[in-house]
Amino acid sequence: MGLPQYEAANPGDSYGEHEAGHDVSEQHHARAYSGGRRRGVRTRFYCRGRCQLIDVSDEDVVFAEKTAGGRFLLYCSTDKPAGYPIDFYSVMVDFGGDALAITVRLDTDSGPDGCWGAFDLLQVILKLNLREGLKRPSAEAGEVEQHVRAALDIEGKRIGRTVDLDRVEFEEDDEGLGYLYAVAPDPRDESLWLLDNPSDPNGEGISGEQILLIVSRIFRSASRLLPPGPASHAIGQVKREVRKALEAEVRRVKSLPASSSDHGSMGN
């Protein structure tokens, strides 16, 4: 079977969603910062490595897709553990000025420590959405909340967890630049640099839409790879709720009046 085809992973490039089945004739490149904080040190695109900048080979890219606004996501199988219940282990995310890599897992029982789990990412989305609803209330924001809560309820019953937004810590950067981060629940993973103003097309940070795309891809992949049974049935239900939340988030962002800010994360 052929490999996914995509363009050079530079900010501003146009990405579509590509499944395996296309030939690739050359290696392309992508860049990453160490986690969510701009420390000025490039990182190797390798799980949680923090070494030299290297290329991302076509062989490692499982999927490529983009947001409605054109920001890309590359799903990669680099160093994926054996028997992993999803197709990818890490995601290269366009945050507006460059890209960062995060490792992900379905849940705590299906992946190594130090990865962002789907349930934790959904909690980040819920807290970010509640924050957005206070600043920019809309019917679409209410839809996002409704479907994310439904997804958390179903997934929480499957893995034995309940929603606890007190465990979702948001903090601003310590340099006074106005950047917003979601602190990783596992100190071995990196915090997420969040886009706190989705109406700014040039804002820097990971958008709610991008996080929902990642979570949607996690559950889509798991529902296809896991054997039939109660777990896969529940995952299929979560997948549908996340998809509805994603559709509502896309409509919400499109309805926002365009704005800009110096750093893209704290503007109104």
Q: What is the mean pLDDT of residues 125-143?
A: 93
Q: What is the pLDDT of residue 88?
A: 94
Torsion of CA 104, 108, 113, 119, to 10 degrees: 50
Q: How far is CA 103 from CA 1, 35, 131, 192, 204, in A?
A: 25, 10, 25, 11, 20
SS3 198: coil
Q: What is the pLDDT of residue 184?
A: 74
Q: What is the pLDDT of residue 37?
A: 34
Beta-strand ranges (E) seen in the chain are 61-66, 72-76, 90-94, 99-105, 116-117, 170-172, 180-182, 192-194
SS3 253: helix
Q: What is the pLDDT of residue 54?
A: 36
Query: Which residue's entry shows tokens 């390798």?
Result: 46
Least confident interval from 133-142, 148-157, 245-254, 257-266: 257-266
Q: What is the mean pLDDT of residues 232-240?
A: 97
Give the pLDDT band (50/70/90) at residue 118.
Answer: very high
The pTM of the full predicted model, rounded to 2 decimals, is 0.77
Residue 192 CA to residue 214 CA, distance in Å, equals: 13
Q: What is the pLDDT of residue 176?
A: 56
- Report the mean per-residue pLDDT for the chain: 75
Those residues whose C-beta lies under 8 Å from the C-beta of residue 130, and which sit 6 or more positions away, are 145, 165
Q: Does residue 175 carry a pLDDT above 50?
A: yes
CA-closest candidate to residue 246, choices 154, 104, 147: 147
Q: Between helices 118-135 and 139-159, what is the axis angle to 10°? A: 160
Interstrand relation of 116-117 and 99-105 (parallel, antiparallel or unpaired)? parallel
Residue 143 CA to residue 74 CA, distance in Å, equals: 27
SS3 182: strand
Residues in the chain, how many? 268
Q: Does residue 16 carry a pLDDT above 60?
A: no
Distance of CA 7 to the CA centre of its chain: 20
Q: What is the pLDDT of residue 106?
A: 94
% of the chain residues with pLDDT over 70: 71
Q: What is the pLDDT of residue 258?
A: 74
Q: Tell me the pLDDT tens digit for each residue of 24-69.
A: 222 233 333 333 333 322 223 322 222 223 356 778 899 899 998 8
Q: How would DSSP label each residue in 125-173?
A: HHHHHHHHHHHS--HHHHHHHHHHHHHHHHHHHHHT----GGG--EEE-
Residue 76 CA to residue 13 CA, distance in Å, equals: 18
Between 123 and 42, the higher pLDDT residue: 123
Q: Which residues pair with residue 157 across a beta bridge?
A: none
